[in-house]
Amino acid sequence: MNVTHLECAKCGAGYEANRIHNLCTACGKPLLVRYDLKRVSETLRREDLPGRTPTLWRYREALPVERPENMLSLGEGWTPLTHTPSLGAALGLSRLFIKDESVNATGSFKARGLCMAVSMAKELGVRKLAIPSAGNAAGALAAYAARAGLEAHIFMPRDTPAANRIECEMTGAYVTLIDGLITDCGAEVARRKQAEGWFDVSTLKEPYRIEGKKTMGYELAEQLQWQLPDAILYPTGGGTGLIGMWKAFDEMQAMGWTGSARPKMFSIQAAGCAPIVRAFENGWDEAPEFENAHTVASGLRVPRAIGDFIMLDILRRSRGGALAVSDAEMIAAAREIGAREGIFAAPEGAACLPALRRLIGEGAVKPDDRVVIFNTGAGAKYLEAYS
């Protein structure tokens, strides 16, 4: 086992590996998985990767699941990094790429995190899982819980896209619709989980979704021949992927796979729900709840993120930033991406395009920069937003 311990991202308190944990019991903040990276690098070598399975499990030594029978898979990970010459030409960029997470199992990047969380739940003997979700995380939990033979209890805002709700119902989950936002769904999970015997797999409230999401960072480095991008634009709700990729960059540097250079990290949010943008612009270390949150991009409708302090630190350390775009801009951008490159992006992913235009205009992104924008999900799951 290469995991040495778990560590609180805020106060540094340590926790024993291979045990069930949610948040830090000392300060209530997220826990991060730590590894013996010297030991990891003895069997996980860059030169061996081309012969490995094209899923996130190609990096299995740097992941927390120990027993192969618990490494669940529906083909998640190793998504295409697509060069976009037409879109790039329109922006004056020769090295623009889209990391297309829509081709994951369950149609979004959420498959990565929930694959890992459910795999670890199975390994640790958990039988019932619960999650609040605005859509794609719910579908991913339902699918992987079905694969593992575990119960999935899902709480969604009543206006969640029908595709997400139906996906959960068809994969055997228990679905409850709530009048309110994802925070209201989270409150319902918190209220009932002890009595119902549920393990809460909410964003960053358990340590393992980050480990699945961090594989996006490993893949980027491998797909770009171990040279990290100059800039990454990432649609940010709960922010697990942003935090996970930064963790991957640190791990790869520690193993000698990459150097110390880091991409500028840009968090992209909806104008109707932009807690990280507001906090970044005001110089705050935390992001208070965003009032009256609203956006057609359901994955960005997260008014308060428990990992806010980690994200804000990453944005500042990387010399990046945070930008908000309107729903109308997202819809127009999805149409442009589709027409120019043939990728039907989710509104969250499409939001990166108007943000990128703004960054180019401000000089924060240069014409010769290697830029990666993330399409986090399939546009077909958002037909209500596009109709």
pLDDT at position 113 over 80: yes
Extents of the domains making up the chain: 81-106+210-386
pLDDT at position 1 over 80: no
Return the number of other C-beta atoms located less than 10 Å from residue 140's C-beta.
34
83-90: average pLDDT: 98
Quick one: which H or E segment has residue 214?
none
Alpha-carbon dihedral angle through residues 328, 333, 339, 341, given to the nearest 10 degrees: -160
Does domain 81-106+210-386 match CATH 3.40.50.1100? yes
With 0-12 / 13-18 / 19 or more C-beta atoms within 10 angstroms meaning exposed / middle / buried, residue 183 is middle
Q: Which residues contact 74 (CB under 8 A, 6 or more apart)?
A: 105, 106, 111, 115, 143, 144, 147
pLDDT at position 135 over 90: no
Q: How far is the C-alpha of 199 from the C-alpha of 150, rounded, in Å?
A: 11
Q: How far is the C-alpha of 367 from the C-alpha of 57, rounded, in Å?
A: 35
Question: The tokens of 212 are what?
Answer: 């699945």
User: Can you name the residues that pair with 324 across neighbouring β-strands?
Assistant: 269
Helical residues (DSSP H) of the chain, grouped into ranges: 37-43, 85-91, 110-123, 136-148, 162-170, 182-196, 209-213, 215-223, 240-254, 275-282, 308-317, 327-341, 347-350, 352-362, 383-386
φ, ψ at 84 (rounded to 5°) = -120, 80
| pLDDT band, residue 361 (cuts 50/70/90) | very high
Q: Return the half-sphere exposure (C-beta side, CA atoms, 13 A cut-off) of residue 116.
A: 30
pTM of the entire structure? 0.96
What does the pLDDT look like over 209-221, one tens digit per residue? 999 999 999 999 9
Q: Do 102 and 346 contact (CB within 8 A), yes or no?
A: yes
What does the pLDDT look like over 278-328, one tens digit per residue? 999 999 999 999 999 999 999 999 999 999 999 999 999 999 999 999 999
